[in-house]
Copies of this chain bind each other. A is one copy, B any other.
Amino acid sequence: MNLDVFFTPRSVAVVGASRTPGKVGHDLLANLINAGFPGEIFPINPTTDELLGRRCYPNLDALDREIDLAVVVVPKEAALSAVKESIDAGAKGVVVISSGFREMGNEGLEIEKKMVDICRRRAVRLLGPNCMGIINTEAALNTSFIGRYPEPGSISIFSQSGAICAAMLDLCSSRHLGVAKMISIGNKADINEIDLLSWLAKDEKTKVIIGYLEDISAGDAFVKAAEEAASVKPVIILKAGTTTTGRRAAASHTGVLSATDSAYGAAFKRSGVVRADSFEALFDYAAALALQPLPTGNRVLIVTNAGGPGTIAADAVEKAGMQVAILENRTITFLREKLPRESSITNPIDVLGDAVPERYAAAIEAAQQDPSVDAILVIMTPQTMTQPAETALAIASAIDGSKPVVASFMGGEDVLPGRKHLCAAGLPHYGSPERAVAALRAMYHYSLWKNRPPRQITHFRVNRRRVERIITRRLRTNRLMVGEVKGKDILSAYGFKIPQGAMAITQEEAVEIAERIGYPVALKIVSPNIVHKSDMGGIQLDLSHAEAIEDAYDLMMLKIRKRAPDARIDGIYVEQMIPRGLEVILGMNRDPQFGPMLMFGLGGIFVEVLKDVAFHLAPITEAEAVQMLMSTRSYAMLEGRRGQQGVDINAIAVGLQRISQLTTDFPQITELDINPFIVGDIGTEPIVADVHMTLTKD
Spell out A's residues near B (CB within 8 Å).
Answer: 22, 24, 27, 100, 104, 145-148, 159-164, 166-175, 212, 214, 238, 240-244, 277-280, 305-309, 311-312, 314-316, 318-319, 342, 353, 381-385, 410-416, 431-435, 535, 605, 608-610, 612, 633-634, 636-637, 641-643
Contacts and interface: CB of A to CB of B under 8 A. Distances in A.
A22 B164 CA distance: 45
Contacts of A434: 277-280
A558 B642 CA distance: 23
B314 A146 contact: no
Given A161-B308, A168-B411, A170-B382, 17 more contacts: A147-B382, A160-B308, A162-B306, A166-B383, A167-B381, A167-B382, A170-B413, A171-B411, A174-B416, A238-B312, A241-B311, A277-B434, A279-B410, A279-B432, A280-B435, A609-B641, A610-B633
Q: Which 9 A-B pairs have the closest CB atoms?
A: A161-B308, A174-B412, A163-B306, A170-B411, A163-B381, A243-B318, A167-B410, A278-B434, A167-B411
A170 to B, nearest CB: 3
Nearest to A103: B307
A308 B278 contact: no
A308 B166 contact: no
B412 A171 contact: yes
B22 A384 contact: yes
Contacts of A384: 22, 24, 27, 145-147
Contacts of A413: 170, 173-174
Q: How many copies of this protein are present in the complex?
A: 2
Given A214-B311, A241-B311, A315-B242, A414 B381 contact: no
Query: Most chain-B CB neighbours within 10 Å: which of A168, A174, A280, A609?
Result: A609
Contacts of A146: 382-384
A433 B163 CA distance: 13
B433 A608 contact: no
A24 B352 CA distance: 14
B242 A163 contact: no
A432 B432 CA distance: 15
Nearest to A173: B412
A139 B91 CA distance: 72
A311 B244 CA distance: 9
Given A167-B381, A434-B280, A312 B410 contact: no
A161 B353 CA distance: 11
Nearest to A22: B385
B610 A381 contact: no
Contact of A167 (B168, B309, B316, B605): B309
Contacts of A212: 308
Contacts of A240: 308, 311-312, 315
A432 B342 CA distance: 40
A575 B383 CA distance: 69
B27 A279 contact: no
Contact of A414 (B22, B148, B161): B148
B637 A381 contact: no
A214 B308 contact: yes
Contacts of A314: 241, 243-244
A45 to B, nearest CB: 18
B163 A305 contact: yes
B243 A315 contact: yes
A264 to B, nearest CB: 12
Nearest to A242: B315
Query: Most chain-B CB neighbours within 10 Å: which of A414, A434, A435, A605?
Result: A414
A641 B608 contact: yes
A424 to B, nearest CB: 15
A249 to B, nearest CB: 14
B432 A278 contact: yes
B163 A280 contact: no
Contacts of A643: 535
A535 B637 CA distance: 18
B637 A161 contact: no
Query: Most chain-B CB neighbours within 10 Å: which of A240, A308, A311, A434?
Result: A308
16 contacts: A162-B383, A164-B306, A164-B308, A164-B381, A166-B381, A169-B411, A170-B415, A214-B311, A240-B315, A241-B315, A242-B315, A243-B315, A243-B319, A605-B634, A608-B636, A610-B612
A634 to B, nearest CB: 6
A412 B243 contact: no
